[in-house]
Amino acid sequence: MSAVTSAHDEHDDHGPKKGFMRWLTTTNHKDIGTMYLVFALVMFFVGGAMALVIRAELFEPGLQFVNPQFFNSMTTMHALIMIFGAVMPAFAGFANWMIPMMIGAPDMALPRMNNMSFWLLVAGGVLLFSTLFMEGGAPAAGWTMYPPLVLQTGNSLPFAIFSIHLLGVSSIMAAINIVATIFNMRAPGMGLMKMPMFVWTWLITGFLLIAVMPVFAGAVTMLLTDRFFETSFFDAAGGGDPVLYQHIFWFFGHPEVYILILPTFGLASTIIPVFARKPLFGYHSMVYATIVIAFLSFVVWAHHMFTVGMPIAGELFFMYATMLVAVPTGVKVFNWIATMWKGAMTFETPMLFTVAFVVLFTLGGFSGLMLAIAPADFQYHDSYFIVAHFHYVLVPGTVFMIIAGTYYWLPKWTGHRYNEKLAKVHFWMSTISVNVLFFPQHFLGLAGMPRRIPDYAVQFAEFNMISSVGGFLFGFSQLIFLYIIIKTIRGGEKATGEVWEGAKKHGLEWTLPSPVPYHTFETPPKIK
Amino acid sequence: MIKIMLGDFSVKKTKQIFAHLFLMLLGVGEANAEYALNMPRGVTRISNDVYDLHMLILWICVVIGVLVFGVMFYSIYYHRKSVGHEAEQFHDNVKVELLWTVIPTIILVAMAIPATKTMLEMDDVNEPDITIKITGWQWKWEYDYLDSGVHFFSSLDAESNQARQLNSGVEAADVDNYLLNVDNPLVIPVNKKIRFLLTAADVLHAWWVPEFGWKKDNVPGFINDAWVSVQKPGIYRGQCAELCGKDHGYMPIVVIAKEQAEYEQWLEEKKAQALAEASSADRQWSQAELMAKGAEVYQANCASCHMADGQGVPGTFPALAGSSIVTGAMDGEVAMVLNGRGMMPAFGAMLNASDLAAVISFTRNGLSNKVGDSVQPLIIKPMLAAMTQPEEDDDW
């Protein structure tokens, strides 16, 4: 495939290979983008099913369905699959599909590596999933895999660690590819400060990934040698320190959560201007805010460890640094609202999800600010309050924007308009149920319910029941999403090239026909 | 001091209305359990400070939220295409952008000041009246009163433990303080500064009683400290807050705060009890006595891993029924139980000679094993003394 030369006319549309070999050997950024998105969607439902096992068990006090060990496996695997299987691949899919088209490039800079990074992701995902069937069960020490507990894992530990290595290699390759593409493949005239915000946020995300994935790989490798080769990095009896792992893990882990949110910011900054029919407010401050957030992400990691017993100077430093994150994040939210201000807004589904994102993500931001206050965190820490917090930023935050991005670009990818009415049903169902699901968890945490427990005291019964009802509603609402996507791929009202009124002004991708031809921008477009 | 804007009465009322609305919406029947919407104020000065910080930052967020979303929804309502609003094309305003960078920074600095003050106070563990060492185990707590030598383990009470089994058939609501009750509560005097030294024997745990306003991790091989001074006598309940394996949800904490005199009385009782237990090892036990005591000790200490019937959990916890160690030579089992191996803790450090002799005898003649022999506390006692000798020299 990659041997295909480009000595053809601009609109000459090469057909891809037929059958399975097309997907196995493809180096086309659109094919690879599609595969990433399909993989992410499948994992979204797999991880979601695990979440429903958790919510079913927590529906009422007492153990009804699973034993505590399997329950812990579910919380662990749910998180790993959602983070590494669903959210990160979804963003890699968007990046693959859209970044070349947004910057006027014919493809990604490193197309063969692109193929490899996707298939390594599949290998890592399958390996991780297979641990469920191993003796001793899947990893059950939480997605953070703190030693010494994680070292008690059964046979699955080395497999889980190897799958993390594979997923890490895959992410690093994807990140290198994206950074290389953005730096080298922009159409003439597209300076860095003319790039769309989605491209900017992914550029910074790429650097974060390259910086921290090796750190994570190092941490889990030390687990491996502690377990099998008699090192004692994390064992006090041999001169090590279990808390060292936490420092290394969160040095990766905090930038990681921004890896999950920065492309989300980019999507919101892309979608709001189109539906407000206005340019993005404060483009420059958006770029700077993103860079500042990325920088801060490296110096706030220990706020995940306020209760671990740090020296007072450490507690105070990490409290102040964490509170600072609110400033650039606030700038972003204010900019989005200023973009809506005095626009001529319409509320098609992508915009609806984006508005819900702005409100609900900010709510998660508020609880984040509360968690930053170290003395108060001594109460919130490891309670359901933190569970509510990070699910607010990740579900109506990140996942909502992935859904918004899908609705936004689906007509461009497939050439068909999706069913707007049904999509709005999907929006309202999701938005209402996500709040029924996660809002009561704030109350549970404040009232004293710890996270990661399969059973609870009876004073937590009411809100757990409400939360579980919300969970099942939210889960099943996503079947509407699946239905809409399949239906739109198969057919429907033809979409124009521009798709959204006036979208041409907002991005190069809307100057192309819908569906996009297999090869685009073989000669670079002119940027004014 | 930060005053909360709503009085107690109206808070309660709003709480009730909210909760009832929620429940009515979902058609959930009225339940009797006491649920709470907010963090408890707690029973120490620090926990009150923490509560005030929590409410202050909450109200700051609410005010900012109302303002920001107010502007947004105003815009969503009035600046729509369908009401004929024309889009303006501005995209920058340095003054406004500076303003919304500077104002949040000022708010944050203002917030950091009281937070730092509370933080410093929490950190000051100097000059305690009493020091208690708390050790986290999978899955129980060990309390060690360093000043008076009182020492005991505290695990989930038997009634909760029975009800919590998969499909136990017991309604959680019928159990008093389901999952929040223990066999041996921690007892402390009120209005005394009590310093806790926190550590763990196996994996990470975290000791959390919400009414005290903090939690702190128990890290194996390291010692953390924290303190409380409880202002009101009462029973305060909490749980382990750091994932510590399969029974993480089943290691509650119960603290009883008593007046000084009552506390001292309790202390004397505990000491007398410990003496009686120690002397019980100096006599011959009958087989029936050993089996009865052994069954009790087994349920409290062994059943969470090896299961009540001794069948274990395949792949994780070995079965005792038919096990080659349990049905093999006595010395082998005694060494295993006393010293532990891998995930099996060294019970020599946890149980007294009578309990050890009883539980070893029980495993050999119960759980469908029929070895026929038994071991006397008198045999175990010198072994324990040999184990603990070096540690007693350590004055830590």
Q: Could you give the percent of chain A with pLDDT greater than 90?
A: 93
- Asked if residue A401 has pLDDT above 50, the reply is yes
C-alpha pair distances (Å), B342 with each of A127, A151, A164, B47, B336: 27, 10, 26, 39, 10
Cis peptide before B100 (omega within 30 of 0): no
| Structure-token pair, residue A467 | 């939360």
* Count of C-beta atoms within a 10 Å radius of residue A457: 24
Structural domain boundaries enclosing A93: 31-511
User: B118 and A241: CB-CB below 8 Å?
Assistant: no
* Count of C-beta atoms within a 10 Å radius of residue B219: 25
- Quickly count helices (H) and strands (E) in chain A: 17, 0
What is the domain count for chain A? 1
The answer to which of A227-236, A439-448, B141-150, B358-367 has the lowest mean pLDDT is: B358-367
Are the C-beta atoms of A74 and A53 separated by less than 8 Å?
A: yes
Average pLDDT, stretch A111-140? 95
DSSP A381-428: TTBHHHHHHHHHHIIIIIIHHHHHHHHHHHHHHHSB---HHHHHHHHH
Between vectors from CA A463 to CA A71 and to CA A433, what angle results, nearest 5°?
85
**Which positions ≥6 away from B353 have C-beta within 8 Å?**
B281, B377, B378, B380, B381, B384
Question: Which CATH number do you get for residue A477?
Answer: 1.20.210.10
| Structure-token pair, residue B129 | 């009246």
Residue B220 in 3-state DSSP?
A: strand
Please report whether residue A257 resides in a domain. Answer: yes
**Tokens 């999950």 — which residue?**
A260
Please report whether residue A24 resides in a domain. Answer: no
| Structure-token pair, residue B289 | 């006595």
Give the pLDDT score at B16.
58
| Structure-token pair, residue A186 | 């922009």
Indicate the pLDDT class of residue A5, thresholds 50, 70 and 90: very low
B160 vs A283: CA distance, rounded Å:
58
Q: Is B220 in CB contact (< 8 Å) with chain A?
A: yes
Give the pLDDT score at B280.
83
CA quadruple B43, B49, B52, B53: dihedral, nearest 10: -140
Q: Which of A170, A201, A290, A398 is catalytic?
A: A170
Handedness of CA A264, A266, A269, A274 (dihedral sign): negative
| Helix or strand holding residue B239 (H, E) | strand B234-240
When CB atoms are compared, the residue of B87, B105, B180 closest to A457 is B180
A507 vs A98: CA distance, rounded Å:
10
Bridge partners, residue A494, by sequence: A416
- In chain B, residues with a C-beta closer than 8 Å to the C-beta of A319 are 112, 115-116, 119
Give the pLDDT score at B19.
63
pLDDT per residue over A308-338, tens digit each? 999 999 999 999 999 999 999 999 999 999 9
A258 is a catalytic site residue: yes
Q: Is A249 in CB contact (< 8 Å) with chain B?
A: no
**A-B C-beta contacts closer than 8 Å:** 326
Cis peptide before A517 (omega within 30 of 0): no
Amino acid at position A128, single letter = L
Mutate to test the interface with A, among B198, B243, B248 (most CBs of A within 10 A): B243
Give the pLDDT score at B8.
46
Please report whether residue A10 resides in a domain. Answer: no
Give the pLDDT score at A9.
45
Exposed, middle or buried, B69 (CB in 10 Å: 0-12/13-18/19+)?
middle
CA quadruple B95, B96, B98, B102: dihedral, nearest 10: 130
**Tokens 């920001």 — which residue?**
B68
Please report whether residue A265 resides in a domain. Answer: yes
**Tokens 């109506």 — which residue?**
A396
Mean pLDDT of each 10-residue bin along chain B, 396 residues long: 41 58 55 73 95 94 95 95 89 90 94 95 94 95 93 91 85 90 95 96 96 96 96 96 95 96 95 86 86 87 84 82 86 87 82 88 87 85 75 46
Task: Look up residue B140 and give its DSSP letter.
Answer: E
Give the pLDDT score at B390.
52
Indicate the pLDDT class of residue A11, thresholds 50, 70 and 90: very low
Selected residue with higher pLDDT from A15 and A17: A17
Q: Which domains does chain B have, with CATH numbers?
A: 39-123 (1.10.287.90), 130-161+178-278 (2.60.40.420), 284-393 (1.10.760.10)
> Rg of the Cα trace of chain B?
28
Torsions phi, psi for A188 (to 5 deg): -55, 135
Please report whether residue A16 resides in a domain. Answer: no
Per-state percent for chain A, helix, strand, coil, to nearest 5 = 70, 0, 25
B367 vs B295: CA distance, rounded Å:
10
Please report whether residue A321 resides in a domain. Answer: yes
Give the pLDDT score at A57.
96
Q: Is A308 in CB contact (< 8 Å) with chain B?
A: yes
CA A208 to chain centroid, in Å, comes to 14
When CB atoms are compared, the residue of B33, B96, B116 closest to A459 is B33
- In chain B, residues with a C-beta closer than 8 Å to the C-beta of A359 are 69, 72
What length does chain A have?
528
* Count of C-beta atoms within a 10 Å radius of residue A505: 11
Of the candidates A421, A417, A399, the residue with the CA atom closest to the CA atom of residue A408: A417
Q: Which of A329, A383, A431, A477 is catalytic?
A: A329
Average pLDDT, stretch A88-116? 96
Q: Could you give the percent of chain A with pLDDT greater than 70?
A: 97
When CB atoms are compared, the residue of B34, B104, B164 closest to A455 is B164
Min Cα–Cα distance to chain B from A194, Å: 14
A107 is a catalytic site residue: yes
Of the candidates A212, A225, A228, A114, the residue with the CA atom closest to the CA atom of residue A168: A212
- Asked if residue A1 has pLDDT above 90, the reply is no
- In chain A, residues with a C-beta closer than 8 Å to the C-beta of B89 are 278-279
C-alpha pair distances (Å), A376 with each of A189, A316, A372: 51, 13, 8
Residue A484 in 3-state DSSP?
A: helix
A273 vs A250: CA distance, rounded Å:
35
Q: Is B233 in CB contact (< 8 Å) with chain A?
A: no
Mutate to test the interface with B, among A288, A382, A456 (most CBs of B within 10 A): A382
Please report whether residue A335 resides in a domain. Answer: yes
A329 is a catalytic site residue: yes
Pairing of strands B151-154, B140-145: antiparallel
pLDDT per residue over A466-523, tens digit each? 999 999 999 999 999 999 999 999 998 999 999 999 999 999 999 999 999 999 999 9
Please report whether residue A519 resides in a domain. Answer: no
